[in-house]
Structure 1
Amino acid sequence: MQGEGDRESLEKTIARPRSFIEKTIKNVTVKIAETLVNLSWITPNRITVVSAAIGGPFAAWLIYSGYGSIAVAAILLSGLLDDLDGDLARVRGVSSPEGAILDSVLDRYVDVFLISALILLDPTRHLIPGLLALLGTTMVPYIRARTEAEGKNSIATIGDRTTRFILLIVGLLSGQILPLLIILAIISNLAAFHRLFFALKPEKSASV
């Protein structure tokens, strides 16, 4: 998919890799995109859908079924495809608002599937932190999109999708699901309030 910056601002700006992990992934996906550029049957939107299917319902089923390690592999593959679709679109020069919208919407479905699966592992203990984590992961991109829809700039913050996926992978591999949900709930909601606080600050008018 197009990456969080592309998806949530509907490709108004190109997301720049900010961390070593993001740079490494981007180097790989750009090379793959250049290899696939002439294969017309492989389209960015098809990659988007496959990525969401693997990282959403399939990974969620693996988590619920107790196959945490395999779920991690599915999530990693989904994350790779998550960047590849946008890179392929840019290499072909076919980036579009429609593709960015599809990407962003399916990402939200992936978040719901994964966190719901974590909640269902132990509904009694996981329900409240899981719902809070789901609320935060939904509000972080929503606040950014709403801010940019009003013509204002948003800001980078903690709790972006890459950070959440890393936490998810660590939690699944360690089997510490309750701490994972608590950390996700805290980080994602702090990120949401951070972006909201910045968005509500009036922009200084240019002096005449």
Structure 2
Amino acid sequence: MLNIFARASVSRVTDPVGTWLLRRGVTPNAVTIIGTAGTVLGALWFLPRGQLFAGTLVITFFVLFDLLDGAVARASGAGTRFGAVLDASCDRIADGALFASIAWWCLIVADDRPAGAAALVALVGAQVISYVKARAEATGLTADGGLVERAERMILALVGTGLTGLGVPYALDVALWVLALLAVITVAQRIVAVHRSAKEQAG
């Protein structure tokens, strides 16, 4: 949802940065890999150790690289099919590392099983949301939209970890349960969208 409304505003900021990086020989794929590696390492290092606020800052910094790889690709004239696959694959890896680390903190460090369960639902939901779209597009159908795409998932999760790291009670619990619920709804929305697309093509 945020992708639709914020894309133009974000591009005005990121496109000049993308042009600057391209002129210095940085490729879109390099930006993708650096961002993913930083996100994964930040999540796996800080969150299971209970360093939620520090982890949030590090992860947020590297998540922003996901905005820059597209900007570098636009500056180069066009992205490549390999770059698109690499970007989508790295997004799934980063999502998995983030939510797995949050689940670990909930279950092992905080001994909070309900929040851990919500984190696992959010983890599975994030993967399924992306899979439905990819599988639909591979068969010539569409499955766009939904309440929580990747940007919303990252914002909700990182706001929750950041506020919890600052000592705000139940911030992560609320964020995870909201995210888990919205993820389930989004999966349903995308399946409905696929069904509608299939009916339109059949008709």
* Conserved 8 A contact 1:17-1:23: no
Once residues 12 and 58 of structure 2 are traced to their aligned partners in structure 1, the CA distance between those partners, rounded to angstroms, is 20
1:169–1:206 distance in 2 versus 1, CA, 3 Å: closer
**1:77 lines up with 2:73 in the alignment:** no
Structure 1 unmatched runs, 5+: 5-15
**1:190 lines up with 2:174 in the alignment:** no
Root-mean-square deviation over aligned CA pairs: 2.2
Q: Corresponding residue for 1:130? A: 119
1:204 to 178, 200, 203: 200
Identity, % of aligned positions: 26
Once residues 71 and 134 of structure 1 are traced to their aligned partners in structure 2, the CA distance between those partners, rounded to angstroms, is 18
Once residues 201 and 33 of structure 2 are traced to their aligned partners in structure 1, the CA distance between those partners, rounded to angstroms, is 43
Give 3-state SS (helix, strand or coil) of 1:18's partner.
helix
1:90–1:71 distance in 2 versus 1, CA, 3 Å: same
* Conserved 8 A contact 1:135-1:189: no
Structure 2 unmatched runs, 5+: 165-170
Deviates more, 1:28-37 or 1:125-134: 125-134
Deviation string for 1:162-193 (max 9, x for gaps)? 11111012201221222222222111121011
Matches within 5 A, 1:15-94: 17-20=3-6, 22-40=7-25, 42-94=26-78
TM-score (norm 2): 0.85
* Conserved 8 A contact 1:25-1:80: no
1:17–1:127 distance in 2 versus 1, CA, 3 Å: closer
The AA in structure 2 aligned to 1:188 is A
Once residues 197 and 110 of structure 1 are traced to their aligned partners in structure 2, the CA distance between those partners, rounded to angstroms, is 27
Once residues 89 and 161 of structure 1 are traced to their aligned partners in structure 2, the CA distance between those partners, rounded to angstroms, is 19
Give 3-state SS (helix, strand or coil) of 1:122's partner.
helix
Once residues 130 and 86 of structure 1 are traced to their aligned partners in structure 2, the CA distance between those partners, rounded to angstroms, is 28
1:67–1:205 distance in 2 versus 1, CA, 3 Å: closer
Once residues 72 and 27 of structure 1 are traced to their aligned partners in structure 2, the CA distance between those partners, rounded to angstroms, is 25
Superposition misfits of 4+ residues, deviation over 6 angstroms: none
Once residues 181 and 201 of structure 2 are traced to their aligned partners in structure 1, the CA distance between those partners, rounded to angstroms, is 34
1:167–1:206 distance in 2 versus 1, CA, 3 Å: closer
Once residues 82 and 119 of structure 2 are traced to their aligned partners in structure 1, the CA distance between those partners, rounded to angstroms, is 31
Report how many residues are paired.
Answer: 191
The AA in structure 2 aligned to 1:19 is F
Once residues 12 and 48 of structure 2 are traced to their aligned partners in structure 1, the CA distance between those partners, rounded to angstroms, is 33
Query: How big is the shift at 1:205?
Result: 5.2
Once residues 57 and 189 of structure 1 are traced to their aligned partners in structure 2, the CA distance between those partners, rounded to angstroms, is 28
TM-score (norm 1): 0.83
* Conserved 8 A contact 1:37-1:92: yes
Higher fraction of helix: 2
2:157 to 144, 164, 168: 168
* Conserved 8 A contact 2:156-2:179: yes
* Conserved 8 A contact 2:99-2:119: yes
